[in-house]
């Protein structure tokens, strides 16, 4: 998540610090309940299909967030991002569990968890560095 982008949106929409915090938490609040329901979707779409739908939907939610011009669209983008991203980690974990021998399963699950957490930490840093270097022409610089 790019907090500097949220801060600029917050200034334009006259959001308080609490408003920015709830906007940041909206994704997690929608991700948690939907992650429990992914098993029924795995049966319908398969694991690979669920990961692809989750990644595509999360990407579309980021694009919606980038072009949002109202508070309702910002929250909608965050909630949709949580809904779609809730599908990726359980499907990846199920794939690792199915394709790994029992003696290696703990190690592979640990690597999967490490990759997810590392991506959550490094991704925003890289995004912030890239955004500081080059602002797209549509951003109104």
DSSP state of 56: H
- Is residue 86 within 8 Å of 35, Cβ to Cβ? yes
Q: How many helices (H) and strands (E) does the chain have?
A: 6, 0
Closest CA to 97 of 113, 81, 82, 84: 113
Instruction: Answer whether residue 140 is part of any domain.
Output: no
Instruction: Answer whether residue 42 is part of any domain.
Output: yes
Q: Over the stretch 105-128, which tens digit does the pLDDT of each residue have?
A: 999 999 999 998 998 889 878 877
Q: Over the stretch 50-63, which tens digit does the pLDDT of each residue have?
A: 888 889 999 999 89
Instruction: Answer whether residue 86 is part of any domain.
Output: yes
pTM of the model: 0.72
Q: Quote the domain boundaries for residue 32.
A: 3-135
Closest CA to 54 of 17, 2, 95: 95
Instruction: Answer whether residue 141 is part of any domain.
Output: no
Instruction: Answer whether residue 45 is part of any domain.
Output: yes
Angle ∠(141,125,121) on CA atoms, nearest 5: 145
Number of domains in the chain: 1
């Amino acid at each position: 998540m790019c907090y500097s982008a949220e801060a600029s949106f917050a200034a334009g929409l006259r959001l308080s610090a609490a408003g920015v915090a709830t906007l940041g938490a909206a994704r997690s609040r929608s991700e948690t309940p939907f992650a429990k329901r992914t098993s029924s979707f795995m049966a319908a779409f398969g694991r690979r299909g669920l990961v692809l739908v989750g990644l595509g939907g999360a990407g579309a939610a980021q694009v919606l967030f980038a072009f949002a011009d109202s508070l309702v669209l910002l929250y909608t983008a965050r909630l949709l991002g949580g809904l779609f991203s809730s599908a990726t980690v359980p499907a990846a974990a199920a794939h690792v569990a199915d394709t790994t021998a029992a003696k290696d399963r703990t190690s592979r699950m640990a690597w999967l968890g490490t990759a997810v957490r590392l991506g959550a930490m490094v991704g925003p840093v890289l995004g912030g560095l890239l955004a500081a270097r080059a602002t797209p022409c549509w951003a109104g610089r």
